């Protein structure tokens, strides 16, 4: 199979064929930093992080651009309320974004352009739209004239009449028509502003993404991601501006949109007051638990937030991590002093165990089917079950075939978890491994002597130092680091 994605522009799933062979340009609309990021933002950026990771896993060379809208009505209003400088307020939330999304293991984009750093380019594009007959100036405001764009509404499937009837428009007495939208806004007292041919002012909301995407990815590129709430007006207006300025269609080949995070079926949103910030969520749950929850439902479907779902995500991730830890221990045992030899044989693409190959192929088929992460995760659990079977076989009869399959299974599970953005938690030990082994042997000797008090004391000592012992059915003892 080849990757197939749901293209909002065409309302169908179609093969993903980049414009320039294996090179992929991916633009994702970033936050407007006027408040803390919430789980709706987390779903968006984790979704497109997984998409990027799978493209790279599939051999594509991805250039990922994500903007910051660092001047906007919301930022100005919030800064006025707090008596803060708008630029300082925006930067504070940008810094928080990086801190929080680094914890969620979201890969950094290749560029994070800001509106305020691209004012000259924005002015150039607005001038071009006026010259091309698609925009007009009135009293320092510049508007895009929607009726001049013959195919306006092709992304959202709305006509101009629908927009006017539905009043999904921004009012202004300077417009020719109610449906027109702002490219440049005349300065108001106390607001950030820049010099322009139309007087001091600042950009409208939509023009920034047309400028920044084309600057870093070209006038036509492959994929544009964002939440479903951006389909109209933001992405609709991006298309109108960009294609009217360049004369090239399509501006973007694949428009991709993730569903909302909901709370009791209502969209999670700051305006509704029902949101949980990423910082608050990370204070309650591990980054891996949150990430697992966010991709547990197909990206285009609503994801309803509740604590029970987070608990299930915690247990599911813990199960996969435990399987991986156990396989790591077994592989370390297999390697002995020959770790480099095991590493050389540890080729993900060279697996010969038919079961491992079958499950890896199933994972890629799931991801090729419009990035079906729930099905891909189900395949990981099948891989986990097979790993436990191999571990049991290895304990009973450590033959070469079982050892080889175990190494392949560990490699596959680790690599596929990485595709979904999971990195196993590295728990630091406060006690040397040699001392752990010595104490485990001492405990075993105490148990043989039926000195259970001494054995329990050793278990408590290890737990206090961050090591948990697990007595196995076959009489062996496993240990693992705990947080």
**pLDDT by residue (tens digit) across 302-311?**
999 998 999 9
CA distance between the termini of the chain: 41
Is the pLDDT assigned to residue 167 strictly greater than 80?
no
Residues ≥6 apart with Cβ < 8 Å to 91 = 33, 70
| DSSP 8-state secondary structure symbol assigned to residue 242 | H
Give the model's confidence band at 341: pLDDT under 50 very low, under 70 low, under 90 confident, else very high: very low
User: Stretch 461-473: mean pLDDT, rounded?
Assistant: 82
> Among 12-16, 62-66, 109-113, 325-329, which stretch is predicted with the lowest mean pLDDT?
325-329
Encode pLDDT of 68-127 as tens digits: 999 999 999 999 999 999 999 999 999 999 999 999 999 999 999 999 999 999 999 999
Distance CA 293, CA 310 (A): 6
Give the model's confidence band at 378: pLDDT under 50 very low, under 70 low, under 90 confident, else very high: very high
Mean pLDDT of the chain: 91
Is the pLDDT assigned to residue 50 strictly greater than 80?
yes
Q: What is the pLDDT of residue 429?
A: 64
Distance CA 398, CA 474 (A): 15
Domain borders along the chain are 4-304, 312-419, 433-481
Q: What is the pLDDT of residue 464?
A: 85
Coil, helix or strand for 111? Answer: strand
pTM listed for this prediction: 0.87
Cα dihedral sign, 385-388-393-399: positive
Which single residue is written with the structure tokens 């204070």? 283
Is the pLDDT assigned to residue 340 strictly greater than 60?
no
User: Stretch 400-415: mean pLDDT, rounded?
Assistant: 92
Q: Which residue has the higher pLDDT, 343 or 162?
A: 162
Distance CA 483, CA 481 (A): 7
Is the pLDDT assigned to residue 337 strictly greater than 90?
no
User: Stretch 448-471: mean pLDDT, rounded?
Assistant: 87
Q: What is the pLDDT of residue 423?
A: 82
Which single residue is written with the structure tokens 């594009």? 125
Q: What is the pLDDT of residue 338?
A: 45
Give the model's confidence band at 398: pLDDT under 50 very low, under 70 low, under 90 confident, else very high: confident
Encode pLDDT of 189-200 as tens digits: 999 999 999 999
From the list 170, 174, 181, the residue with the least C-alpha distance to 147 is: 181
Coil, helix or strand for 193? Answer: coil
Encode pLDDT of 413-437 as tens digits: 999 999 999 986 555 667 887 788 7
Q: What is the pLDDT of residue 260?
A: 94
Please classify residue 128 by burial: count the beta carbons closer than 10 Å to its beta carbon, then call 0-12 exposed, 13-18 middle and 19+ buried: middle
Q: What is the pLDDT of residue 164?
A: 63
Give the model's confidence band at 344: pLDDT under 50 very low, under 70 low, under 90 confident, else very high: very low
Tell me which fold the domain 312-419 belongs to: 1.20.120
How long is the chain? 483
Distance CA 211, CA 60 (A): 25
Tell me: cis bond preceding 44? Omega within 30 of 0 counts. no
- Homologous superfamily of domain range 4-304: HUPs (3.40.50.620)
Q: Which residue has the higher pLDDT, 269 or 233?
A: 233
Distance CA 424, CA 410 (A): 12
């Amino acid at each position: 199979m080849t990757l197939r994605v749901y293209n909002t522009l065409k309302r169908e799933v179609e093969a993903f064929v980049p414009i320039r062979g294996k090179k992929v340009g991916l633009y994702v609309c970033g936050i407007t930093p006027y408040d803390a990021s919430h789980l709706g933002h987390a779903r968006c950026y984790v979704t497109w992080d997984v998409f990027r990771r799978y493209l790279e896993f599939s051999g594509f060379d991805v250039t990922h651009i994500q903007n910051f809208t660092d001047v906007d009505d919301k930022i100005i209003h919030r800064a006025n309320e707090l008596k803060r400088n708008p630029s300082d307020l925006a930067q504070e939330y940008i810094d928080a974004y990086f801190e929080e999304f680094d914890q969620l293991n979201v890969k950094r984009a290749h560029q994070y352009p800001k509106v305020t750093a691209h004012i000259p380019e924005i002015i150039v594009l607005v001038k071009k739209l006026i010259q091309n007959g698609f925009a007009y100036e009135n009293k320092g405001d510049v508007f895009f004239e929607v009726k001049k764009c013959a195919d306006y509404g092709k992304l959202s499937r709305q006509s101009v009449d629908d927009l006017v009837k539905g009043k999904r428009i921004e009012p202004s007495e300077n417009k020719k028509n109610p449906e027109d939208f702002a490219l440049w806004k005349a300065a108001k007292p106390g607001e950030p502003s820049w010099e322009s041919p139309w007087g001091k002012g600042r950009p409208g909301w939509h023009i920034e993404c047309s400028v920044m995407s084309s600057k870093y990815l070209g006038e036509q590129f492959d994929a544009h991601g964002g939440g479903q709430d951006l389909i109209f007006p933001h992405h609709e207006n991006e298309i109108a501006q960009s294609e009217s300025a360049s004369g090239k269609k399509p501006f973007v080949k694949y428009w991709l949109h993730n569903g909302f995070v909901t709370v009791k079926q209502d969209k999670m949103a700051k305006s509704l007051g029902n949101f949980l910030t990423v910082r608050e969520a990370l204070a309650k749950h591990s980054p891996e638990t949150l990430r697992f929850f966010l991709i547990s439902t197909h990206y285009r479907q609503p994801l309803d937030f509740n604590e029970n779902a987070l608990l299930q995500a915690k247990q599911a991730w813990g199960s996969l991590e435990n399987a991986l830890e156990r396989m790591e221990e077994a592989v370390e045992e297999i390697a002995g002093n020959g770790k480099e030899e095991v590493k050389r044989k540890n080729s993900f693409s060279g697996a010969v165990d038919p079961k491992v190959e079958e499950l890896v192929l199933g994972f890629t088929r799931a991801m090729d089917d419009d990035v079906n992460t729930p099905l891909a995760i189900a395949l990981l659990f099948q891989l986990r079950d097979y790993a436990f079977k191999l571990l049991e076989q290895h304990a009973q009869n450590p033959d070469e075939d079982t050892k080889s399959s175990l190494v392949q299974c560990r490699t596959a599970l680790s690599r596929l978890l990485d595709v979904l953005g999971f990195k196993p938690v590295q728990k630091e030990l406060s006690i040397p491994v040699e001392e752990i082994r010595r104490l485990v042997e001492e405990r075993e000797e105490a148990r043989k002597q039926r000195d259970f008090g001494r054995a329990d004391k050793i278990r408590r000592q290890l737990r206090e130092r961050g090591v948990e012992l697990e007595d196995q059915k076959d009489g062996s003892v496993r240990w693992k680091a705990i947080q």
